[in-house]
Structures are given as C-alpha cells and as structure tokens.
Amino acid sequence: MENLSRRKMLSLGVALGLVGVANPAQAWAATGSATGPAAATGTAAGTGPAWIWDDLADPLMASMVDNGHVPAINTAWASWVNNGDALPTGVPAEFTSYLQQVNRLPSWADPVKLARAADFNRRRDTYLFMLYGLGGGIMSTVIPREAKSVYWSAGGANMQDRAAKTFTFGYDLSQLGAFQPTGQFVVTANKTRVVHAAVRHLLPQSPHWRAVADESVPISAADILVTFHSLGTYVHRKLLEWKVPFPAADQEAFLHSWQVAVHLLGVPDEYIPQTWAAAEAQSAQVLTPILTPSTEGIALAEELLGLTAQIDLGVTRGFLNEFVRYVLSDQVGDWLGLKRDYVSAALVRTAWPAYILFREGLSPVMPGSFYVFDQFVRALAMLFLNKGTSGNTTPITIPTGNRPG
C-alpha cells in the first residue's frame, strides 16, 4: 500500500464513502483536553478523531515494513524495556529520530498525580486486573471494529500471545513506578503505538479484513478513545458501582494516568476527556451505541475465555460465564453465546457484593463463599501479573503480515 499521509487517508475515506464512527458527529465536541478547557472540535463528516490516525508513526512504519526493516527493529528493541533505558541501536536512523520525538512524557504530565495513581493501582490491583481482563477485555469482543482488526491482524492467529501482549500494556500501566525511569510503561506505550502504525499499513492489504470492515484504515484516534472507555472509564464506573472506597483524589489520579497513556498512543490532547464526567459523556456517545456482536468477536471471546478457563481459578466455566455476564450484562453474554449456569449466577449476584463489603472492612460478616471469590480474584491477578503466560516476559513485536485466510 502507498505510504499514506493523514490528508491522503482522509481523501481515500471520503472517496470510498466511509463514515468515521457510527455515532453522532457531536460525540467528540467539548470533551476537553488534558491541559485546558474544552476545545471546539469539528463535527462535519471527515473531521474529528475518526479521521485522525498518526502523522508521525504511520509513514515511518509503512516504510519500515515495506523495506524489510521490521525483523531488525524487533531484535534491536527487545532489550529496550525500562523508561530510562537508552534507545535501541542497530535500527534505521529515521526510526531513531522518531523515537527521540515521542519517547517522553507530555509537558502537562503531573508527577504527583502519577505517583498517586501508581499507589492506587497497587492498593486496588485485584479489582483492576479482574475488570481489565474479564470486563474490558471481553467487552472488546463486542466492539466490532476492534474485534475485526484484532482477528484479521497477525495477532489474531495466536490469541494466547496476543492476550499476553495486551496484559503487558495493562500491567505496565499499573506498575508502582510505571512512569518513572525504572518503570516500563512509556516504552510499552511507544512500542504499542508503533505496532498500531504497522497494523494500519498492513490490514488494508488483507482481503479478509476489507470484506468485513466499515473503515478504510483501522485504529483511528477515535478507535483508541473507544478502547480507553472500554477500559479506564468502565473500570472507574464499576468501582463506584461496587462501592469500593474511591476518594476523589484517587479518581483524579487514575484518570490522569489514562490521559497520559492515551497521549502516548498518539491521540491529540484536545480529544482526551478532562474529567470523568466528560469521559462518561463521551463514552455514552461513542462506545455504548456501537456495542454489538460480530463473527470475529464471538470467536475471539470464546478463545479468550477458553484460555482463561485453562488456568486453575478454582471455579467452573459456568461460574466464569456468569461472572462475565455480571460485570458486563446478560445481553453481552447472550451475544457471545455464553451458556447459562443459574446456580453460579445466583452465587455471583448475591455473594460478590457481600465479598466486597467484607474485604473492604465495610461489613463484619464474612460471606460463606469468601474463599471461593478470594481464590478466584487472586488467580486472575496472578494471570495478569504473569502477563497471560507462564512467565512474566512477553515482548511486544511489530508484525510483518496479517492473519492468513
């Protein structure tokens, strides 16, 4: 595929008559930026984050893929892990130049808030890991664009590896020193941004993806924001719904860590919600209306739940299905064909709230099912801490092709 600039991609999309997102155009207006008051945003067709990809990374990675540099880059950056590490050597000069531009926190990043977010992640890690995995992770399978892009990209052919790399992103964001020189998230985010750019170049070459996609180029800024809402906004909402103690300062810090994360993935600051209220409003407009099953998403969900069920969680697959239904909805469970287990359903819906109250010291009564749930959340946490594998190292690599037919 020709190296496409943002302007050329826009022209191509308009020429093909493709819309950016299946939501009201006003969805992106007045969301606010991470640094100042809400900015006016374009709402006409062909404007806004649905028509923004990555001007810096996209042409670079199209060149790296087409000229055969990817294997060397994957080898070179394998040892580039910590934020404070020197940039990888043995890569093309233009790739080094790109990393020099992006391998830093934004000027508005607040180290005090990031430190508080890290401490919050440490204190609430079991809830976070569970909600990221069984909540946001499974929700991604009913986000059609995300499911189709994942399924038909190279990672879709090996979901255990793909899931492990996704765990790596979430784990590194949740590290105690995620944004410190000894942390790893800035590097992980930069690697992920590069992978996104490579996929944008490769997927349009897949006849299988083109046959099911409603967009000309995948992973727009809008798509990344939708993913943020399926993870960060969703987790924030569930913790409040479950009445897990969540002071305002922790909520603000948690949002700030996600604002920095989304910025590092290349989303323009003016589209990043400034408050949780703005995030909820944006999520209601751009995420909720698009949730629906797809052939690819159903297949991915079964693979992901099948992999999870192989881990010794101390519960049955029926319990796992019902917990997914509980944290998402019965509608999502029905879309994905999750078989009902009404005994487990009753247990989850009555005992889980009691488990949280006791665990948080808000009730002196320990539910009889406490140890079942405790083993369950601890096993899921260990799965997350091991980044979806038997070990704790899952290198992020740039693909060179798509999923075979």
For residue 259, pLDDT over 80 is answered with yes
For residue 114, pLDDT over 70 is answered with yes
Q: State residue 57 phi and psi, 5-degree precision.
A: -85, -35
pLDDT at 37: 28
pLDDT at 57: 98
What mean pLDDT do residues 367-371 have?
85
Which residues neighbour 210 within 8 Å (Cβ) at sequence distance 6 or greater? Answer: 204
Half-sphere exposure of 64 (CA within 13 A, CB side): 29
For residue 22, pLDDT over 70 is answered with no
pLDDT at 344: 95
For residue 153, pLDDT over 90 is answered with yes
What mean pLDDT do residues 139-165 have?
88
Residue 351 near residue 373 (C-beta atoms within 8 A): yes
pLDDT at 222: 96
Which residues neighbour 58 within 8 Å (Cβ) at sequence distance 6 or greater? Answer: 3, 4, 5, 6, 197, 200, 201
Range from 2-11, 207-216, 220-229, 343-352 carrying the lowest mean pLDDT: 2-11
* Cα 355 from Cα 286, distance rounded (Å): 33
Of the pLDDT bands very low, low, confident and very high (cuts 50, 70, 90), residue 90 is: very high
Helix ranges restricted to H, 242-369: 248-264, 276-286, 295-309, 317-327, 330-335, 342-359
For residue 83, pLDDT over 70 is answered with yes
**Number of neighbouring beta carbons within 10 Å of residue 182:** 12
What mean pLDDT do residues 128-136 have?
88
pLDDT at 36: 34
Maximum distance among all alpha carbons in the chain?
A: 65
* Cα 233 from Cα 276, distance rounded (Å): 7
What mean pLDDT do residues 186-199 have?
96
Pick 107 or 163 by higher pLDDT.
107
pLDDT-above-70 percentage for the chain = 85
Terminal C-alpha separation, the chain: 19
Mean of the per-residue pLDDT values for the chain? 86
Helix ranges restricted to H, 55-137: 57-66, 70-76, 93-102, 111-123, 125-130
What mean pLDDT do residues 18-32 have?
39
Six-digit token string for 262: 């989304």
Six-digit token string for 354: 């009691």
Six-digit token string for 358: 């006791």
For residue 137, pLDDT over 70 is answered with yes
* Cα 112 from Cα 90, distance rounded (Å): 36
pLDDT digits (tens, 9 = 90+) for 311-351: 777 788 999 999 999 999 999 999 999 999 999 999 999 99
- Exposed / middle / buried, residue 282 (Cβ in 10 Å: 0-12, 13-18, 19+): buried
* Cα 244 from Cα 236, distance rounded (Å): 10
User: Rounded to two decimals, what is the model's pTM?
Assistant: 0.87
Pick 18 or 105 by higher pLDDT.
105
Pick 28 or 230 by higher pLDDT.
230
For residue 260, pLDDT over 80 is answered with yes
Of the pLDDT bands very low, low, confident and very high (cuts 50, 70, 90), residue 387 is: low
From its phi and psi, is residue 37 left (phi > 0), alpha (psi between -120 and 50) or beta?
beta
For residue 224, pLDDT over 70 is answered with yes
pLDDT at 391: 45
Pick 247 or 374 by higher pLDDT.
247
3-state DSSP assignment of residue 190: helix
pLDDT digits (tens, 9 = 90+) for 27-66: 454 444 444 323 323 344 567 899 999 999 999 999 999 9
Of the pLDDT bands very low, low, confident and very high (cuts 50, 70, 90), residue 238 is: very high
**Number of neighbouring beta carbons within 10 Å of residue 167:** 23
Q: State residue 153 phi and psi, 5-degree precision.
A: -80, 175
Pick 124 or 237 by higher pLDDT.
237
Pick 305 or 59 by higher pLDDT.
59
pLDDT at 388: 53
